[in-house]
Structure 1
Amino acid sequence: MPSISRAILIALLPFVTAGPVIRQFGSSSGFGSSTQNGLDGDCKAVTVIFARGTTETGNVGTSAGPPFFEALATKLGDGKLAVQGVEYAADVAGIMQGGDKAGTEKMASLVQQAMTKCPDTHVVVSGYSQGAMLVHNAAKSLSADVTGKIAASVTFGDPYQKQAVQGVSADRTKVFCHSGDSVCLGTGIITAAHLTYSQDAEAAAAFVVTAIGN
């Protein structure tokens, strides 16, 4: 196993054993939950397909996703947002693969499902940490026709920050990577900066609203 892989495993051990910090949100919107299955419900104006980070709970986690959803729901108004989490292992083995392969396939499938079920919805792809890897990988696996319909891409703590999201134009792509976040540099070492993306919720939501022209 290459040395960088050992470094990633060692760095992630505290988070594998301890699990993520659970944040509580005061809103009654329901978007503060770590599990979101919006595609099971009615079509909304905007649909976010979100992949959580390694070892996070539920299917959207707690660190970056829920604060972003809460902020976006507030900006869009009541009843205009659906969020669908990507069900995947979100384990260290996925990082060794450059992003969980089954998770990548699931995310791509959910994007297509959203567009088929709700042809008028604005589909936003988003992910945190390993989930950001899935955003990039899923986009590569989708046809140009599908990626051309993606309204926006938003990633947090993105190991592939220097890579484009294939098929999604630069003006519809936003990456949040904090100074001191070694994951964004591709080392896989978890620092305190990697756990602070809830503070970008408002900026991420504002970007999406602008991207969809709302």
Structure 2
Amino acid sequence: MELFVATFLNLEVMRAASPILLQGLLITLQLIAVAVPLGLFGGVLLALLSTVPSRWVRWPLILWVDLFRALPPLVLLVFIYAGLPFAGIEISAFGAVAIGFFLNTSSYYGEIFRAGIESIPRGQMEAARSTGLSKAQAMLWVILPQAARNVLPDLVSNTLEVVKLTSIASVVALPELLYQARQAQSVTYNPSPIVAAAAIYFILLWPVVRLLSRLEHRAVARK
């Protein structure tokens, strides 16, 4: 037991590593603050475009969404950061992660919002238009809020996955939480910083997990 504690729960090592872990946490929070709003904005935009009754819009849109849902985020991230420079396009680590997350997560958010929009009865649009609203205004102020409410558990679940996905940013040497924990581990020759990083992720995400459970139970109760 003592060996286990000294190896994985070494408080001295965790205390020594805490400054760079906190620096990594700050980068992770900044990344979340950029990636989630970008993904939501892109998702709403894709969902709205899916309502356009034109095959010249619909088919490129389907191809776009399928492409970025099929590509592993890690492959996309490495391509943007390490591949584009060969074409003369230099992007910082943070910028590469932000772009990669935007392309990947907006596709998932877009499908969630699209499902929400399709769940709204057609009569809602007609009723909104009868009050004098344009189609765009009715979609923005009447249909979209209801759609978001209908798929709220899915939106929270996807946001949870986006936050967890930020850990892959370490592959492009962005000094987020996991990267800093691995740096501390390499210096101390002890995995306790990784355990500390895992604990920080748990503290950060546990409230979201509980919120998701409540939303899912509420959705089941409605049925």
Q: TM-score range by the shorter chain?
A: under 0.3
Higher relative contact order, chain-length normalized (CA < 8 Å, sep 6+): 2
When you count strand as a share of all residues, which structure comes out higher?
A: 1
Larger radius of gyration: 2
TM-score (norm 2): 0.25
TM-score (norm 1): 0.26
